[in-house]
Amino acid sequence: MTKIDTRLNVAPVPPDEIFALNGAYAVDPHPQKVSLGVGVYRTDDGKPWPLPVVEKAEQQLVKDNDLFRHEYTAIEGDVPFLGIARDLMFGFEGKPSEEDAKARIASVQTVAGTGANHLGALFLAHHMKPTNVWLSNPSWANHQTIWELAGVPRKTYPYYHAATRSFDFDGMMDTLESDAQEGDVVLLHACAHNPTGLDPNKEQWVAIADLCERKKLFPFFDSAYQGFASGSVVEDAWAVRYFFNNKPDMEMCVAQSFSKNFGLYGQRVGAFHYCTNRASTSIRDIVVNNLCHLIRGEFSMGPRVGCSIVKKVLTSDELTAEWHQDLQVMSSRIKSMRQALYNELVRLQTPGTWEHIIQQNGMFSYTGLTPKQVYALKDKYHIYLLKSGRASISGLSQKNFAYVAQAIDDVVRNEI
């Protein structure tokens, strides 16, 4: 065996499960294969859906023929886009205190939601030095990687109650109450929790905000599905806006993604917003300055084309109205597929309870299937979902939901 002469100290790391699963699906020749893994919207024909309003914006941008369309932006990103992204997230809507509220928010453009999460984690690790970050159990797997790379110790709070397949509000609150320390970061999913699809109700969000304020915890919102989850950008931003408006003496931040709600998965459009408390607005520009220092050393500035599309849509009343219609199309199809799968499982009298499928929200369902059942679905039926049982509902269609339900029924019965 040849000795490798290197100064590197490296060992293999596990492949990303979602992308590995998608790769296996892509090369599977089976005619009835079904992809329930990757979190992207698909039509009922199983095809990508460039939003009609996005296509219209693209055509207008080509017609504009802006000579600066390939030029550098500022380090903080496209400044007009940042104001639009901020207003979409926080929803000022001409309130008397609008200028004071905006003065609290330091915004920069990022490489989509992943980049916003990463930049926020890095910024807090450098400048706040939290003892721990608290992640929901379970959470989006990439949250673990992002905070690991930022060097912040990770702890988890209960989130999913397996026996009832419901949100474990009491477990979450009890753990944070007893174990979280002042200055700890608490990562919260703004809506459409990934992977469970279970969100706190408004009363529970109020209680979570009260706990964060009382214990001096730092809320870090990941907002990946605004408008995509319910079809309403206002409803899906409710938690973020409540924390911001009703806890003005508490600092917080938001990682904002436009991948799902504009279908701009490959364009990498995102923003990071750091919210100062109302007594510290004088540091907003210093926060932006320090965020720019990190950005300059990593990627210099955010991508231009995707944010230009978002800007074109959200600066036109006509296109904005069309975008809201597109959001309704996507969210309605997801809801109808949840209902169709649930109805078929009930019709088949599949053992167990399946109400959680229609009680959950957004792109994903935490099905409650075991790893053994998931592997059986893949091996026997060529149905691909994560070993946790997380299924991307957008992979269901009128053509395959009955096939998927029958397969689930079979693997569940075979394990009894």
Please list the active-site residues: 140, 222, 260
The type of residue at 207 is A
- Helix (H) / strand (E) element for 117: namely helix 112-127
DSSP 37: S
What angle, rounded to 10 degrees, do the helices at 141-150 and 112-127 form? 40
382 Rama class: left (phi>0) / alpha (psi -120 to 50) / beta? left
Answer for the pair 113, 306: CB distance below 8 angstroms, yes or no: no
Answer for the pair 364, 195: CB distance below 8 angstroms, yes or no: yes
Q: What distance in Å separates the CA atoms of residue 415 and residue 192, rounded to the nearest whole number? A: 30
**82: CB partners within 8 A, 6+ apart:** 76, 107, 108, 109, 271
Q: What distance in Å separates the CA atoms of residue 219 and residue 212, rounded to the nearest whole number? A: 7
Q: How long a stretch of residues is the chain?
A: 416
The CA-to-CA distance between both ends of the chain, in Å, stands at 49
Which ranges constitute the DSSP H helices of 247-381?
Answer: 284-298, 305-314, 317-347, 356-359, 371-381
Strands, DSSP E only, in 191-293? Answer: 218-223, 252-257, 269-275
Answer for the pair 243, 219: CB distance below 8 angstroms, yes or no: yes
Q: What distance in Å separates the CA atoms of residue 90 and residue 245, rounded to the nearest whole number? A: 9
Rounded alpha-carbon distances, angstroms, from residue 358 to 166, 273, 367: 12, 32, 11
| Residue with the two structure tokens 């790391």 | 13
What number of other Cβ atoms are within 10 A of residue 328's Cβ?
Answer: 14
| Residue with the two structure tokens 């005619």 | 31
243 Rama class: left (phi>0) / alpha (psi -120 to 50) / beta? alpha
Strands, DSSP E only, in 164-243? Answer: 166-167, 185-189, 218-223
